[in-house]
Structure 1
Amino acid sequence: MEKLAIFDVDYTITKKETLMQLFKYVIMKDIKNIRFLPRALYSGFMYSINIYDEKRVKESFLKFIEGIEEKDLALLVKNFYKDVLEKNLYEDAIKMMKNLKSKGYKVYLISASPEFYLREFYAIKEVDMIIGTRFTLESGKFIRKMQGENCKGEEKVKRLKEVLEKENIEVDYKNSYMFSDSLSDKPLLDLVGNAYLINFRKKNTFEVLRWK
């Protein structure tokens, strides 16, 4: 049986929220993309008053790359990882990955962030599997339509088990690990025998680790 070391991404292995960082990066590359800022602010407001759910927010927000050619998107996210994401990793997160990997654990990243750029985290040699929110490519172009559900909460457990079943992997959950910055990941935290919250400040029942 495999033992897993599961990590959330935003604010767990990265110091900042990655989707907003992508938006800022696209603006930095071409200031004309600032025209999408009102849409981003509007989407956030509609979510804050419970009119948009997270799926609709993301589909609306990603207008800034809609229609981009697949090859151009691949280049964009490769450079985004090199210029931004790689520089925003918690050193303690990487140390934990290395430590658990050396003990035979499989390292999985499971996040609600879009999978099309999360895949760049395969640059971290310890990472075995990445699961994120999936979006659509149609006729070789990015379409801001989510495939399935937002990969959050119970959906993370569902997606994980789909992958494990497909790969015919049996897991020793009692001796597996899960790291997250948020109680929205309670379904995954409850799944394993070793569950930790990262830099969490509210009262809770899980052990908290302070990562830098």
Structure 2
Amino acid sequence: MTISNSAAREDETCVAFDFDGTITTTDSLRDFVRYQVGNRCFLIATLLVLPWLVGMFTGLCSRAEAKARFLAITLRGRTQVELEEAAARYANERLPMLVRPEMIERIEEHKRRGHRLVLVSASPTLYLGHWARAAGFEAVLATQLEFRDGRFSGRLASPNCWGPEKVRQLQQWLGDAGGRVRFAYGDSRGDQEMLAFAEHGWLRGLGALPSLDAWPERLHQG
């Protein structure tokens, strides 16, 4: 989902942020589901999805399959209106408590410099769109849920936005004008391709946030 359909121009600086673990202190999808269904149902769902989680880590199934199974167990059958209302409440009431203050400061610094911000995440656009608009992001490239006849089908409507898929969606958003991603921020294996795609990439855990005026080359390598 893009908040703005306009592609980046070649002379513009674009900044890509991962969300979970980079901007936040925890995984927002798990937190959203717990927020929606309660602790008891969340625990039961976690136990039921264990075979798919094991399969994901052993290579027997994909991350997308494991995520869809978890969401199907917890949220399938909920109406689109119900989930959209829950997502708006979550973005306004709960999500701000998970956000790292230093990342908000970095986002604001990029905005002061006139940079175009894009959020690139494997979590759902369902609630990320609400948060990103309020935070000043121009676009959200993330995973979409499938709704049929007004209800969540338990499936994903788009590829899981993780790893190489992040770069594919960024390239599509950048468009024919050839805009560039100058800065990118991530925290995990799923962000490595995006960090390599950017001119300057920062991976949480490999040092403090560098100054934008003196960003060392390829911080994410090593």
Do structure 1's residue 158 and structure 2's residue 172 form an aligned pair?
no
Residue ranges of structure 2 left out of the alignment (5+ in a row): 1-10, 208-216
Out of 67, 71, 80, the residue aligned to residue 70 of structure 1 is 80
Question: Aligned in 2, Cα 1:33/1:11: closer, same or farther, shift over 3 Å?
Answer: closer
Q: Which moved more, 1:8-17 or 1:106-115?
A: 106-115
Out of 196, 203, 212, the residue aligned to residue 190 of structure 1 is 196
Residue 41 of structure 1: aligned partner: 50
Would you say the 8 A contact 2:117–2:139 is kept in 1? Answer: yes
Question: Aligned in 2, Cα 1:77/1:148: closer, same or farther, shift over 3 Å?
Answer: closer
Residue 115 of structure 1: aligned partner: 125
Displaced runs of 4 or more, over 6 A = none
Residue 57 of structure 1: aligned partner: 66
Do structure 1's residue 101 and structure 2's residue 111 form an aligned pair?
yes
Would you say the 8 A contact 2:199–2:218 is kept in 1? Answer: no
Question: Aligned in 2, Cα 1:162/1:172: closer, same or farther, shift over 3 Å?
Answer: closer
Letter of the structure 1 residue corresponding to residue 56 of structure 2? Y
Would you say the 8 A contact 2:52–2:61 is kept in 1? Answer: yes
2-structure distance, mates of 1:118, 1:43: 25
Residue ranges of structure 1 left out of the alignment (5+ in a row): none
Superposition deviation, residue 40 in structure 1: 3.1
Would you say the 8 A contact 1:181–1:200 is kept in 2? Answer: no
Letter of the structure 2 residue corresponding to residue 207 of structure 1? L
Would you say the 8 A contact 1:2–1:170 is kept in 2? Answer: no
Question: Aligned in 2, Cα 1:72/1:189: closer, same or farther, shift over 3 Å?
Answer: same
Residue 180 of structure 2: aligned partner: 172
Superposition deviation, residue 49 in structure 1: 2.8
Superposition deviation, residue 141 in structure 1: 1.1
Would you say the 8 A contact 1:69–1:141 is kept in 2? Answer: yes
Question: Aligned in 2, Cα 1:132/1:104: closer, same or farther, shift over 3 Å?
Answer: same
Sequence identity (%): 21
**Deviation per residue, 1:123-157 (Å, 9 max, x gap):** 43321111101221111111222224211111111
Residue 149 of structure 2: aligned partner: 139
Would you say the 8 A contact 1:179–1:196 is kept in 2? Answer: yes
Residue 212 of structure 2: aligned partner: none
Residue 102 of structure 2: aligned partner: 92
Letter of the structure 2 residue corresponding to residue 125 of structure 1? A
1-structure distance, mates of 2:25, 2:206: 13
Residue 14 of structure 1: aligned partner: 24
Residue 5 of structure 1: aligned partner: 15
Residue 219 of structure 2: aligned partner: 207
Q: Which TM-score applies when normalising by structure 1?
A: 0.84
2-structure distance, mates of 1:67, 1:27: 13
1-structure distance, mates of 2:31, 2:218: 29
2-structure distance, mates of 1:40, 1:20: 13
